[in-house]
Amino acid sequence: MQFPTLTSPHTERPNQVDQTMLMVVLALIPGALAMIWYFGWGILINLVLAAIAALLSEAMAQKLRGRPAFGTLRDLSALVTAMLFALALPPLLPWWLTVLGAAFAILVVKEMYGGIGYNPFNPAMAGYVLLLISYPVPMTTWLAPSVIAEHSLSFGQTLTAIFTRALPAGLSWDALTSATPLDSMRTQLDMNYTVTEIRESPLWGAFGGRGWEWAGNWFLLGGLFLLWRRVITWHIPAAVLGGLLAMATVFFLVDPDTHPFPLFHIFSGGAILCAFFIATDPVTASTTQKGQLIYGALIGIFIYIIRSWGGYPEAVAFAVLLMNMAAPTIDHYTQPRVFGHGRLSDD
């Protein structure tokens, strides 16, 4: 047996926050490009608007707290928050909502709790939930994916629509928008259609909605890149997807007519983005390995529960925020046993 021999230096440079965040930004790019491809320039404009608002808010918060302004701008964490937040937004959202949500995420959810490393809640998801609860109508107005859309907007037209709400002559909002796969599945199930009947519409692809499932695949690719670079470990993504899949499978086996087949849940909405990018946020997630499995599985289970019986069609943000709250408790009960010591009794 031969052991691999390495030459010095054996100690690598310690992992810095900015490197980790840069990896996350890189890993998000394929998925972001896919979203832009399927849903138009609006996604790109949202990304830029959210990034500007988040970085300005971060700089302002640093100045107010009497710290060097560029200290935490350079670690890119605000940029990652802005990207995750913007990728969850509908393409033609009014610009001031994007700015409001990003500023809330950074100023209130992140900096008011002490800045990077101290925030108990995922800032991107909290910003998204703020908008979703406060402005449900614009937040659920999604465009039809380009593969089935009858009209597409140019860059200039998209910009006009985002900033002035004006559409080019002859187009109405109704002609452009379409329910998301999760939304239409839910509404039509409520109207007593069976899953097979619902899936006859051209909206549907192999697993989820057309366009949506492919964006999901590209996010999956980014997630695998993060796993390969060891930015994240397998525990949380596997547990989130496993929990969601387990719930979906049980209900699918009980009654396949009223419960969409399990992979539908994985490839719809933000499940993959959540499993690899949002739930794995090192600040707000559980930190022990056993804890991460519990934390992830419960996120998956909550996604299924809220999607199926909650008030909103998409549940990723609510599930993540709920489990953020539980993460410290999970950590407390899953501390690994220190070698040489007995089992700790709960005090």
Residue 182: closest CA among 204, 167, 202, 160: 204
Contact status: 135 vs other proteins (CB under 8 A): yes
Comparison of 136 and 256: residue with beta carbon closer to other proteins: 136
Contact 99, 49 (CB under 8 A): yes
Contact 116, 110 (CB under 8 A): yes
Comparison of 163 and 333: residue with beta carbon closer to other proteins: 163
**Binding other proteins by CB under 8 A: which of 136, 256, 328, 336?**
136
**Interface pattern 187-226 for other proteins (x via CB under 8 A):** ----------------------------------------
Query: In angstroms, rounded to a whole number, what is the distance separating the alpha carbons of residues 92 and 177?
Result: 10
Query: In angstroms, rounded to a whole number, what is the distance separating the alpha carbons of residues 227 and 219?
Result: 12
Contact status: 335 vs other proteins (CB under 8 A): no
- Which residues inside 93-112 make contact with other proteins, applying CB under 8 A? 108
- Shortest distance, CB of residue 179 to other proteins, whole angstroms? 21
Q: Concatenate the DSSP letters of all residues of 159-188 into one string.
A: HHHHHH-PPPTT--HHHHB---HHHHHHHH
Comparison of 108 and 232: residue with beta carbon closer to other proteins: 108
Comparison of 108 and 283: residue with beta carbon closer to other proteins: 108
Which helix (DSSP H) or strand (DSSP E) does residue 249 occupy? Answer: helix 235-254
Contact status: 154 vs other proteins (CB under 8 A): no
- Shortest distance, CB of residue 130 to other proteins, whole angstroms? 6
Span of 3-11, 27-35, 131-139, 225-233 interacting with other proteins by CB under 8 A: 131-139
Query: In angstroms, rounded to a whole number, what is the distance separating the alpha carbons of residues 188 and 203?
Result: 13
**Binding other proteins by CB under 8 A: which of 28, 103, 130, 247?**
130
- Shortest distance, CB of residue 302 to other proteins, whole angstroms? 18
Tokens found for residue 323 = 């489990």
Tokens found for residue 289 = 């390995």
Contact status: 133 vs other proteins (CB under 8 A): yes
Span of 3-11, 73-81, 127-135, 217-225 interacting with other proteins by CB under 8 A: 127-135
| 143 three-state secondary structure | strand
Query: In angstroms, rounded to a whole number, what is the distance separating the alpha carbons of residues 52 and 196?
Result: 44
- Shortest distance, CB of residue 172 to other proteins, whole angstroms? 19
Cα dist. 136→165, 193, 311, 320 in Å? Answer: 17, 25, 11, 19
Span of 74-82, 129-137, 182-190, 193-201 interacting with other proteins by CB under 8 A: 129-137
Site residues for other proteins per CB under 8 A: 108, 130, 133-136
